[in-house]
Amino acid sequence: MESFKAHLDKFITISDEEFTSVLSFFEVREVKKKQDLILSQEVCRSMFFVVKGCLRKFFVNEKGVEQTTEFAIENWWMTDTFAYERQIKTDFCIQAVEKSIILEINLQTQEELLKKHPVMERYFRMIYQRAYAASERRIRYLYEMTREELYVNFSTLYPWFIQRIPQYLIASFLGFTPEYLSEIRAKLRS
Amino acid sequence: MESFKAHLDKFITISDEEFTSVLSFFEVREVKKKQDLILSQEVCRSMFFVVKGCLRKFFVNEKGVEQTTEFAIENWWMTDTFAYERQIKTDFCIQAVEKSIILEINLQTQEELLKKHPVMERYFRMIYQRAYAASERRIRYLYEMTREELYVNFSTLYPWFIQRIPQYLIASFLGFTPEYLSEIRAKLRS
């Protein structure tokens, strides 16, 4: 869990002893590729932190097609924040893209953690601030860019993603069909 | 500033004395309708809290058209979070839609506030968590809905907005031309 400590150190000052206590509030889980962590219509009880691997969040649209809205790789959190905060049913699914190691925490345990270690309020404040900043920019891109520009922008900002994530999931994230993504890639190569 | 106290009370426990100290970190400003708070290419130094009135955030797209991406009414915050956190130039503008009363705070003063009143870490954590949850849902809507569905959804969720905000700004927010919005409204009425 050294990588989680190094991650926390970027945001807050925390001693080794305190870190050991913080860590005890989380459950460490190993999950297989394509393993489901939350299914649609289940109560969203947990948040997940990716120590190693990759998760995705998706919903199934009217046509029955999986629409990916988010990826989380190392040092990123994932949940359905709206449903988690209210402890209600989610209409998203969260699934492992790769074999992964994650930290899981539920709302009640998170509240106990925050009570015992108020410095974690600062940590989560900064995490949500950063996540919100990223989503503000993403919403702007969705207004501003054509689908082709979205792909070029995405592959410029996150080249390792394009290498790492299966093409059909990149297509799903960008709202393309896999065929349309192949067309764009062919056009950009030529 | 009773409404700001009532707003804080929803998230944290804070005494009248402590509130007076918290408030002293903010600058209270009255702004006129259409007054600019931040212009594109300026360093984003401040966050704004709406006590009364309404702000909007927009950018000017390639065609020279203002594209509104966000509104803030009473008890909501607004800034370009990405640029604010990094104290860099923004490529958004923030402008008053109505005559408004706002609280303004800059990054350095906010850090001093958080140091003196750590309970405000919890407050801002919950504010960003809520803002992020809203943007997660909004991104899903942008994937899932046609423009007409976006309008119907928006006017169902926020009927007072439709009454309050000028039509051309609603159109700009939804990515419509004002003419297209008129068409949808006529169709829905018939």
Smallest Cβ distance to A69: which of B82, B114, B139?
A: B139
Strand arrangement, sheet containing B27-31: B27-31, B100-106, B46-52, B77-78
Mean pLDDT, chain A, rounded, equals 93
The pLDDT assigned to A110 comes to 98
> If DSSP codes are grouped into helix, strand and coil, which group holds residue B64?
coil
The interface pTM score, or ipTM, of the predicted complex is: 0.92
CB A77 within 8 A of CB A127: yes
Integer Cα distance of B94 and B106 in angstroms: 15
Nearest by CB: B128 against A67, A128, A142: A128
Q: Do A143 and B85 touch (CB under 8 A)?
A: no
Rounded Cα–Cα distance for residues A9 and A14 (Å)? 7
- Token pair for B144: 């899932």
The whole-number pLDDT of residue B154 equals 85
Question: Which residue in chain B is spatially nearest to A176 when comparing CA positions?
Answer: B143
Q: Where does chain B show beta strands of DSSP type E?
A: 27-31, 36-38, 46-52, 55-60, 66-72, 77-78, 93-96, 100-106
Please report, rounded to a whole number, the percentage of residues in chain B having pLDDT higher than 70. 100
Q: Which amino acid appears at position B94 of this protein?
A: I
Q: How many CB atoms lie within 10 A of CB B64?
A: 6
Residues B95 and A90: beta-carbon distance below 8 Å = no
- What CA–CA distance (Å, rounded) separates A167 from A155? 12
The share of chain B scoring above pLDDT 90, in percent, equals: 68
Q: Which residues pair with B48 in a beta bridge?
A: B78, B104
Q: What is the DSSP string of chain A?
A: -HHHHHHHHTT----HHHHHHHHTTSEEEEE-TT-EEE-TTSB--EEEEEEES-EEEEEE-TTS-EEEEEEE-TT-EES-HHHHHHT-B-S-EEEESSSEEEEEEEHHHHHHHHHH-THHHHHHHHHHHHHHHHHHHHHHHHHH--HHHHHHHHHHH-HHHHHHS-HHHHHHHHT--HHHHHHHHHHHH-
What average pLDDT does range B102-115 have in this prediction? 98
Q: Is A146 on the interface with B (CB under 8 A)?
A: no
Where residue B14 falls among pLDDT bands split at 50, 70, 90? very high
Is any Cβ of chain A less than 8 angstroms from the Cβ of B173? Answer: no
Tell me: the pLDDT tens digits for B26-69?
A: 999 999 999 999 999 999 999 999 999 999 999 998 888 899 99
Amino acid identity for residue A66 in this structure: E
Q: How confident is the model at residue B142 (pLDDT cuts 50, 70, 90)?
A: confident
Please give the pLDDT value at position B29.
98
Q: What is the pLDDT of residue A28?
A: 97
Q: Give the domains, in start order, of chain A with CATH numbers.
A: 2-116 (2.60.120.10)
Nearest residue on chain A to B58, judged by CA atoms? A140
Ranges of chain A with pLDDT below 50: none
- Is any Cβ of chain B less than 8 angstroms from the Cβ of A93? no
Per residue in B148-172, pLDDT (tens digit) is 888 888 888 888 888 889 888 988 8
Q: Comparing B176 with B5, which gets the higher pLDDT?
A: B5
Position B27: which residue type?
Answer: E
pLDDT tens digits, B124-140: 999 999 999 999 998 89
Q: What are phi and psi of A2, to 5 degrees?
A: -60, -35
Confidence at residue A73, expressed as pLDDT on a 0 to 100 scale: 93
| pLDDT of B175 strictly over 90 | no
pLDDT band at B81 (very low <50, low <70, confident <90, very high): very high
Average pLDDT, chain B: 93
Q: Do A135 and B136 touch (CB under 8 A)?
A: yes
Strand partners, B106: B46
Question: What is the least distance, in Å, from the CA of A121 to any CA of chain B?
Answer: 5
Residue B188, pLDDT above cutoff 90? no
B128/chain A closest Cα distance in angstroms: 5
pLDDT of A185: 84
pLDDT digits (tens, 9 = 90+) for A77-122: 999 999 999 999 999 999 999 999 999 999 999 999 999 999 999 9
- Cβ of residue B11 closer than 8 Å to a chain A Cβ: no
pLDDT at B182 over 90: no
> Which chain A residues touch B67 with a CB distance below 8 Å?
143-144
pLDDT value, residue B131:
96
Q: What angle do CA B176, A177, A163 make, to 5 degrees?
A: 110
Rounded to a whole number, what is the distance in Å from the CA of A142 to chain B's nearest CA? Answer: 8
